[in-house]
Amino acid sequence: MAFTDPLRSVPDFDAGDAEWLHLLVGDWQMVADLGFGDLLLCFPADVIPAAESPTGDPIPGEGSEFLVLAHARPTTGPTAYQKDMVGEVVGGEAAFTLRRAWVDRRIERAGPSEWSSLASRSVTLVPLVRNNRTIAVVSLTADPQHDRLPSRMELVYHELASALLRMANQGTWPDFAVRTDSRRGAPRVGDGIMRLNAEGTVEFCSPNGLSTFRRLGLAGDITGQNLLHVARQLPLTAPGVDETLAPVLAGTMPWRAELATGKASATLRAIPLREGPERTGALLLCRDVTELRRRDLQLVSKDATIREIHHRVKNNLQTVSALLRLQSRRMHSDEGRNGLQQAMRRVSAIARVHESLSHEISEDVDFDDLIRHQVKLAVETASAGQHVRTRVSGRFGRLPSKSATSVALVVNEIVANAVGHGLKDRDGTVELVVTHREDEVTDAGERYRVVEIAINDDGRGMGDAVIEESGVDAYRPPAEGEGLGMQIVRTLVASELQGGIRWQPADGGGTSVIITARFPRAMSGRS
């Protein structure tokens, strides 16, 4: 359930109001850190609709309690509430002050006596006004710390928190125009902050912020300098300052950007500060992400190396397959030629798995495209002068590479066996059907995805016999007429796929081979 559901249930509020609250709660940790206090988002339990309200706007009913919809604790100081306040009901004097703030639409301070049911500290109530109506109230509960004089940094932090809360009261923050960056390394209050004036000059820079710019190559202090001019003097890896970065450094747009030199990288985020329609300056968050970017580069390099290894393994396997094909052409005995062709088919099946992995970042494979090609390849290789059709239905999803290789080999052997024996010297159809059973959970709590793979042919059939093998039953000497392929199938199904295999007559004639495979959920990727 979304925390905005109570607001959505009131007809006077629309989806835009709920989305704006989502933006606020997604960003208000910054306000809690700057204000050294807890934030609570409160909404009345009883709302008088605008059509019935004396003010013409939706307001809380007389004596209405308030529900806490969201709660944020500061990382820069102690919390005011030891328990999670989400879902708590606020009543009494505290609810009265919340209703007063809602109706008056003004930021108010509630004394300890009015808020004693929740906390004994000073509380600031901020009605969130959007489209000329209040949609919720935020409370900031902080320790006033009368026993000592606050530092310069604490004063700036409090000033910035108050500025953001005033903008929230006016409905100008958060801004729907904010751009998000999918890359890691979003700056936080503790990473470093700057206070810019309307001209982009740095009025205050925290010690962490100064250290970040020093690592980028700044010499001297940054306070009193225009940040855009400072950035132009840094040895940036990109020439000059591009048009995306400039508005961030000037504090005119609520965007994120990144500065990078040969030795360091830093992410920046600007939040323009306004008093009504007038921009008064900006809050700039900065974070040193040098080590984070170095690790990202290592991961990218590692991924590229793994993909290159899979590509080279695929090339080597294709070379082996080609050599086996050449050698089979020089064989004079049918038995030797068939053995080499079977080996070539198995090597090609493994090569296709590595080819898929060479195009993937993850270590699992989208197996559906791969198996369709594999079934066609197995049929074409095994059939000589026959017209054998193939059908594939159902989806495997993604499989880990080890399981994908085993499934590809098993399917390859059974399809080749169906063409070579069941459809020997005749035309027909080979069909592969994939179905998913209900997950299995072991006594140890391990969850397995269970997939059933049926390979059907409409050939001569195997009589009425039903053969089923799994686990240790699969490890037996080959029966009369069984070759290496069936030994491979039984071994892989029992050991690698943790399942079983069953041969039975197919409906309408022919043979149906049903394989049950189990894949650990933690490894199986997306289904």
Q: For residue 25, what is the domain's CATH number? A: 3.30.450.280
Are residue 406 and residue 491 in the same domain, yes or no? yes
Are residue 212 and residue 104 in the same domain, yes or no? no
Helix, strand, coil % in the chain, rounded to nearest 5: 40, 25, 35
Q: Tell me whether the omega of the peptide bond preceding residue 174 falls within 30 degrees of 0, making it cis.
A: yes
Given this model, what pLDDT does residue 361 score? 59
Please report how many Cα atoms fall inside a 13 Å half-sphere around the Cα of residue 351, on the Cβ side: 18
Are residue 126 and residue 267 in the same domain, yes or no? no
Give domain status of residue 65, yes or no. Answer: yes
Q: What's the rounded Cα separation, in Å, for the pair 435 and 414?
A: 18
Give 10-residue mean pLDDT values along the chain (527 residues): 87 92 93 94 94 90 94 92 91 90 91 60 90 94 73 92 94 78 78 94 95 91 92 76 79 89 89 91 93 74 64 76 78 77 74 69 74 77 73 86 82 83 81 88 80 88 73 58 73 84 84 88 49
Relative to beta strand 388-393, strand 428-436 is: parallel
**Taking phi first (over 0 means left), then psi (-120 to 50 degrees means alpha), and beta for anything else, what does residue 385 get?**
left
User: Cβ(234)–Cβ(241) under 8 Å?
Assistant: no
Given this model, what pLDDT does residue 159 score? 95
In one-letter notation, the amino acid at residue 522 is A
Given this model, what pLDDT does residue 128 score? 96
Give domain status of residue 139, yes or no. Answer: yes
Q: Which two tokens stand for residue 223?
A: 């306070």
Owning domain of residue 82? 5-148+161-170
Q: What's the rounded Cα separation, in Å, for the pair 290 and 265?
A: 5
Give domain status of residue 474, yes or no. Answer: yes
Given this model, what pLDDT does residue 114 score? 62
Return the number of other C-beta atoms located less than 10 Å from residue 277's C-beta.
7
Given this model, what pLDDT does residue 371 score? 80
Q: Which two tokens stand for residue 57?
A: 């706007």
For the chain, the distance separating the N- and C-terminal CA atoms, rounded to the nearest angstrom, is: 26
User: Cβ(127)–Cβ(166) under 8 Å?
Assistant: no
Q: What's the rounded Cα separation, in Å, for the pair 189 and 153?
A: 12
Give domain status of residue 92, yes or no. Answer: yes
Q: What's the rounded Cα separation, in Å, for the pair 516 and 158?
A: 63
Give domain status of residue 466, yes or no. Answer: yes
Are residue 223 and residue 253 in the same domain, yes or no? yes
User: Cβ(396)–Cβ(358) under 8 Å?
Assistant: no
Are residue 165 and residue 193 in the same domain, yes or no? no
User: Cβ(69)–Cβ(4) under 8 Å?
Assistant: yes
Tell which of 140, 170, 200 closes a domain. Answer: 170
Tell which of 135, 170, 205 closes a domain. Answer: 170
Tell which of 265, 288, 311 closes a domain. Answer: 288
Q: What's the rounded Cα separation, in Å, for the pair 300 and 298?
A: 5
Are residue 22 and residue 122 in the same domain, yes or no? yes
Are residue 416 and residue 519 in the same domain, yes or no? yes
Q: What's the rounded Cα separation, in Å, for the pair 411 and 431?
A: 11
Give domain status of residue 521, yes or no. Answer: yes
Among residues 174, 167, 75, the alpha carbon closest in space to that of 126 is found at 167
Q: Which two tokens stand for residue 93?
A: 């004097």
Given this model, what pLDDT does residue 183 score? 62
Q: What's the rounded Cα separation, in Å, for the pair 409 and 371?
A: 10
Output the domain CATH number for residue 485. Answer: 3.30.565.10
Are residue 513 and residue 412 in the same domain, yes or no? yes
Given this model, what pLDDT does residue 234 score? 87
Three-state SS string across 142-190, please? ECCCCCCCCCHHHHHHHHHHHHHHHHHHHCCCCCCCCCCCCCCCCCCHH
Give domain status of residue 329, yes or no. Answer: no
Give domain status of residue 347, yes or no. Answer: no
Reduced to 3 states, what is the DSSP secondary structure of residue 467? strand
Given this model, what pLDDT does residue 526 score? 42
Among residues 41, 47, 4, the alpha carbon closest in space to that of 22 is found at 4
Number of domains in the chain: 3
Q: Is the four-CA dihedral 460, 463, 466, 472 of positive or negative sign?
A: negative
Q: What's the rounded Cα separation, in Å, for the pair 39 and 69?
A: 11
Instruction: Give 358-389 as a DSSP string.
Output: TT-SSSEEEHHHHHHHHHHHHHHHH-SS--EE
Are residue 31 and residue 165 in the same domain, yes or no? yes
Stated as kind and residue range, the H or E segment containing 300 is helix 290-329
Given this model, what pLDDT does residue 441 score? 80
Given this model, what pLDDT does residue 207 score? 94
User: Cβ(409)–Cβ(398) under 8 Å?
Assistant: no
Beta strands in 232-361 (DSSP E): 256-260, 265-275, 278-288
Given this model, what pLDDT does residue 524 score? 42
Are residue 39 and residue 131 in the same domain, yes or no? yes
